[in-house]
Chains A and B, each alone.
Chain A
Amino acid sequence: MAAPSSQPEAGARLIVAGLNHGFESDDGVQTALFSSLNFSVGPAEIVSIVGRSGAGKSTLFNLISGLLTAQAGRIEIGARPDGTRGRIAYMLQKDLLMPWRSVLQNALLGIELYRKVTRADIDRARDMLARYGLTSVLDAYPQALSGGMRQRVALTRTLLVDPTLVLLDEPFSALDYETRLALEDDVMSLRQSTGTSVVLVTHDIEEAIAMSDRVILLGGRPARIEDSVDVKLSTQGPRTAVSAREAPEFRTLHKRIWGGLRSNTIHHAGAST
């Protein structure tokens, strides 16, 4: 097990330290996917992980969400401020709504699976769905909803379990541009409302910059962290999906990350800018 190179700050929501993982092909050849990944995500922080397809983004996602077990290293979910266990919830590009459940029932699924649903839960679900403009379709089945509405129901389902960390795997890539911007705002506003941390796995550099406090560039094979870019944007007014894209620093950051991704493709020996 590799020792973590950087000291993760106290109270981190997610700590990934010395993570090594690979897979064995049918003929027994070991292929390493990651070598000693180290990073952490603080409270109310939004961190994007970008990389070319095949860089193992989705495997990393599955490792963090606990669907896969890492071969070596540490993935730790930080506790809540009151000391109780933290909780991860995730959301994919597919909304994964169940066609036989109404919008409200779909939203409540996460709670239903680990404890009895209470009146208060239902009220909370109604409130959250109302905030996303879904009051009129509470009892409708998902088939009647547009892609954006469905993704908002999925987001509600994700948030209702009170996660300390939300994992998003290209959640908006199937949506039209306008809806996507609106949903990016929804996720960014979590920072203020609930202090939920977010890890966003994406190949969309613009989305990564617009939404995140930090962009982690994953590259090479086995993949390692090529670059870690702090995103500080001087937006006009509050930072939103649109104002972030209009910030003067946006182009520069885009160029840096894009350059990192490209150089990585060409030499496979990742060069940090």
Chain B
Amino acid sequence: MSDAVISAGAARRRPRAKRLKGRAATGTVVTLIMVALVVFWQVAAGHAWINGQLFGSPLGIYKAADIGLTQGTLIPDTLTTLIETVLGLVIGSGLGIALGLLLWFVPRIAGVTEGFAVILNSIPKIALGPLIVIWFGSDMTSKVWLAGISTFAVAMISSCAAAREVDVDLLNLFRSFNAKPGMIFRKLIVPGALPWIFSTLRVNIGFALIGAVVGEYIASQSGLGHAVFVAGSLFDLNTVWLGIIILTLMATLLSWIVQLAENRIISWKTKR
């Protein structure tokens, strides 16, 4: 019996090592291509093969970053957008997930609510931007609202579905043990929905970021969206690029954090 376990473990370890090696190789290739593109971009801009005014250049972006740091606007702008995004993501997704899961208790109401959520989800949320700025002003609050609204419906719909799609046989097993609904919810619905919740969170990082940045485009005094918008209207392409790069890094960082949390919380998925 234990032999079987050990050999099964060994059999799984080998492909895993191979997978890691494969991942490292892919990473190297991606990095090489990126470096080559940046070098080509710089050379092309330096030799005026492309219009530096219209395309910017890597060195120009570096200078823009330097200026941003010395003037002391870059870090506050980054923090503003980061805080808006994280607050919107946490509040919007949190409420959506909680509501979506709790609706499991009341399937009839769930049907109606889900219908509304689908309608809400099909609204292009950023179209609500002007409204939200009018209601909540041009400071951070309106961006948190926009980021939150962008993530709420997705979180609710998918956690509602995750709760509903729970294995009927497992549900019957719990019932055969005379489990009360609260028990079923805690011990079956919630843990069973966790993988869906995490994949929703990962998708929502992007939505929250869009909400925050577009909110800043519409009306704001600070934030990366604000900086990009102002630079764009001044044809300062290097600063625009800088903003985009930082936003990308921000999204990567956030999804890395979500991944880390996922690995910790649903360790059973990785620890085989």
Contacts and interface: CB of A to CB of B under 8 A. Distances in A.
Interface of A: 62, 65-67, 88-90, 92, 94, 96, 98-101, 109-110, 112-114, 133-134, 136-137, 140-141, 143-146, 149, 161
A252 B157 CA distance: 59
Contact of A113 (B9, B167, B187, B191): B187
A58 B173 CA distance: 14
B191 A133 contact: no
Interface of B: 1-2, 4-5, 8-9, 167, 169-170, 172-179, 183, 187-188, 191-192, 194, 266, 268-269, 271-272
A65 B178 CA distance: 11
A65 B176 CA distance: 7
Given A88-B176, A109-B177, A99 B2 contact: no
* 5 closest cross-chain pairs (CB), A and B: A113-B179, A136-B2, A133-B1, A113-B177, A100-B268
A99 B1 contact: no
B179 A143 contact: no
Looking at chain A's contact residues, the main secondary structure is loop
Contacts of A141: 268, 271-272
B169 A67 contact: no
Contact of B4 (A65, A101, A146): A146
Nearest to B2: A136
A99 B268 contact: yes
A144 B8 contact: yes
A268 B267 CA distance: 54
A146 B2 CA distance: 11
A141 B5 CA distance: 11
Given A100-B191, A136-B1, A146-B4, A92 B178 contact: no
Contacts of B8: 144, 146
Contacts of A137: 2, 5
A143 B188 CA distance: 17
Contacts of B268: 99-101, 141, 143
Given A136-B1, A137-B5, A144 B173 contact: no
Contact of A89 (B4, B176, B194): B176
A31 B191 CA distance: 39
B169 A92 contact: yes
B5 A98 contact: no
A112 B172 CA distance: 16
Contacts of B194: 100
A100 B246 CA distance: 37
Given A67-B176, A89-B176, A113-B187, A100 B2 contact: no
Contacts of A65: 176
Contacts of A113: 174, 177-179, 183, 187
A38 B1 CA distance: 43
A149 B1 contact: yes
A144 B272 contact: yes
Q: Which of B173, B179, B183 has the most CB of A within 10 A?
A: B173
Given A100-B191, A134-B1, A144-B5, A66 B176 contact: yes
Contacts of A110: 177
Given A67-B176, A134-B1, A144-B8, 15 more contacts: A67-B175, A88-B176, A89-B177, A92-B169, A96-B169, A96-B170, A99-B269, A113-B174, A113-B177, A113-B179, A136-B1, A136-B2, A136-B5, A137-B2, A149-B4
Contacts of A99: 268-269
A101 B269 CA distance: 11
B46 to A, nearest CB: 55
B224 to A, nearest CB: 38
A80 to B, nearest CB: 17
A121 B45 CA distance: 73
A99 B179 CA distance: 19
A114 B179 contact: yes
B272 A143 contact: yes
Contacts of B192: 98, 100
Contacts of A145: 5
13 contacts: A62-B172, A66-B176, A90-B176, A98-B188, A98-B192, A99-B268, A110-B177, A113-B174, A113-B187, A133-B1, A136-B2, A141-B268, A144-B8
Q: Which of A88, A99, A113 has the most CB of B within 10 A?
A: A113
A188 B8 CA distance: 30
A110 to B, nearest CB: 5
Contacts of A89: 176-177
Contacts of A161: 177
A88 B176 CA distance: 8
Contacts of B5: 136-137, 140, 144-145
B172 to A, nearest CB: 5
